[in-house]
Structure 1
Amino acid sequence: MDSITVSSNIHRCWNTIGISGDRSCLELANFIHCRNCPVYSSGGHQLLERSIPNNYRQEWTQLVAQSSAGVEKKSVISADSHLIDGVNIQAALTVAIFRLQQEWLALSAQVLKETTPPKVIHSLPHRSNQILRGLVNIRGELHMCISLSHLLHLENSDRPSATISPVVYQRMVVIEKAGEVWVFAVDELYGLHKFHQHELKNAPNSLAATNQTYVKGLFQWHTCSVSYLDEELIFAALARKVLP
């Protein structure tokens, strides 16, 4: 697009005898710099007040129309997308990935409160069962510790575990939703990971290791297939099976 040219009627003495020229202007002794001179100021006003060329608006209209068309072609509209600088970007899901026995699992990062090294579990007389293991002290507060493996009906296996790191540390995971706090131990904790909704696949009917009831779907991570757990169902099941 052609730029607006400076009017030839403007006397640009600052480029010839002024500060940007040979500095022979006699007024420089009074004004020190051209920007302090009324002639320079007058030239600036003329530039700002000059009329717009006839084709200027038309050229800008065409340019904006072409840019808008380019954005629309690149956009993929979906219910799980949002706009960033006018371009549709599919929203990412953030999850915490961990391993229980042979299974790699994930929970929404929104319910992840913290992780800690393994803690002593204090059993509850006449209350502890396969799911409720007892109480643990987390930062001076007692919380119920559960066995997520038993809740999900994970089967014990003698096969070597598919670890990600050569050094594996057991951890305890603290989750919270609507003021309800639960703690469970994991065999390995990877950390947070992001993936997009379209990467989530339906759980197959043949899913044997993890109870399909609690699985939203599966997604690929490194060489592993990860079961994305439904936190709503997890918390509801714990409240029903553990709390009085």
Structure 2
Amino acid sequence: MSTTIIEACWNRIGVNGDQSCDKLQQHVHCRNCEVYAAAAQQNLQRPVSDDYKKEWAAHFRRDAGEGQQQDLSCLVFRIGREWLSLPTRMFVSVAPSARPHRLPHRSGRGLSGIVNVSGTLYPCMSLADLLGIDESEGEAATHSHTFARLLLTQWEDQAYALPVADLHGILRYAGASVQAPAATINKGLSRFLSGVITHQDMRIGVLDEALIGYQLARTLR
């Protein structure tokens, strides 16, 4: 252990003490004083213990491949009681929830209508319908007050608005940590999943970007 003792006068008679130091009138603050600067130099040049050296030597000897690199990023949201995710690159922005206006002669499964977000019209797509999720099951799963939102997303040249019951936010994760979906997941949802990731106490379904994008585009045809 280092035996260097630094006299921290700024904590006794300086700005953090009783402010009785006669140098304060000239320097205003201890950080402008030569005594404070000398103490900083002394602290930086103090000898370090063998344990400290060993700890950092072990840190830098560690293989850079140890642990899993968080190489992927997704946006996590909830529909019904299912926590799901899509790659962050698909999303443009998040908007408050809005009631869609139905389109005449268009009642296809998955297309709820159109929504106006800041003067721009977006087709409002129901992932609950497309994935076979019961939206009414979600309230009891959270035990907290939540806010529904619209996720504005872009697939190829088409923009979409996706209503969600809750939004967790952006999550970085390791691609190597993705697990296979459980066999108990409903078939309507499971065929759109490329895997499952775990975060805190959440099991998050990783939606296949290409399949979801294709299904959204197909619904608009």
Report the secondary structure of 2:134's partner residue.
coil
Deviations 1:105-149 (A, max 9, x none): 111100011111112311001113331010111221111001100
Paired residue for 2:48? none
Structure 1 residue 198: Cα displacement? 1.7
Q: Distance in 2 between matches of 1:199 and 1:154?
A: 25
CA drift of 1:174 comes to 0.8
Instruction: Give, in angstroms, the shift of residue 197 of structure 1.
Output: 1.1
TM-score scaled by structure 2? 0.66
User: What are the superposed Cα offsets for residues 36-62 of structure 1, whole Å, 9 maximum, x if unpaired?
Assistant: xxxxxxxxxxxxxxxxxxxxxxxxxxx
* Cα distance in 1 for residues equivalent to 2:197 and 2:123: 30
1:148 and 1:225 mapped to 2: Cα distance? 18
Match of 1:211 in 2: 189
Partner of 1:177: 155
Residues 156, 115 of structure 1: alpha-carbon distance in 2 compared, 3 angstrom cutoff: closer
Please say which structure displays the higher CA radius of gyration: 1
1:77-88 superposed matches below 5 A: none
1:113 corresponds in structure 2 to 92
2:181 aligns to what SS in structure 1? Answer: coil
Instruction: Report the counterpart of residue 135 of structure 1 in structure 2.
Output: 114
Quote the Cα distance in structure 1 between the aligned partners of 2:203 and 2:114: 32
Structure 1: which 5+ runs fail to align? 1-66, 78-87
Whether the 8 Å CA contact 2:73–2:170 is kept in 1: the answer is yes
The corresponding residue for 1:161 is 140
Equivalent position SS for 1:74: coil
Tell me whether 183-192 or 203-212 shows the greater mean CA deviation.
203-212
Q: What secondary structure, in the 3-state scheme, does the structure 1 residue paired with 2:141 have?
A: coil
The range that moved more, 200-209 or 226-235, is 200-209
Quick one: distance in 1 between partners of 2:159 and 2:63? 43
CA distance in structure 1 between the partners assigned to 2:199 and 2:62 by the alignment: 30
The residue identity in structure 1 corresponding to 2:98 is K
Q: Which residue identity does 1:243 align to in structure 2?
A: L
SS in 1 for 2:151: strand
> Which residue pairs with 1:243 in the alignment?
220
Equivalence for 1:99: 78
Q: How high is the TM-score relative to the length of structure 1?
A: 0.60
- Residue by residue over 1:10-39, the C-alpha shift from the partner in whole angstroms, topping out at 9 and shown as x without a partner, is xxxxxxxxxxxxxxxxxxxxxxxxxxxxxx
Paired position in structure 2 for 1:223: 201
SS of residue matched to 1:110: helix
Matched residue, 1:41: none
Percent identity, please: 26
> 2:14 corresponds to which residue?
none
Distance 2:209 2:186 in 1: 20
Task: Tell me, in whole angstroms, the C-alpha distance in 2 between the residues paired with 1:237 and 1:208.
Answer: 18
User: What amino acid does structure 2 have at the position aligned with 1:135?
Assistant: I
Distance 2:124 2:68 in 1: 39
Unaligned runs of 5+ in 2: 1-56
Q: Within 2, Cα distance between the matches of 1:156 and 1:113?
A: 24
The RMSD of aligned alpha carbons is: 2.5
Greater RCO, 1 or 2 (C-alpha within 8 Å, sep 6+)? 2
SS in 2 for 1:202: coil
Aligned length: 164
Question: Of 63, 82, 89, which residue of structure 2 is paired with 1:74?
Answer: 63
Structure 1 135/172 Cα, relative in aligned 2: closer, same or farther at 3 Å?
Answer: same
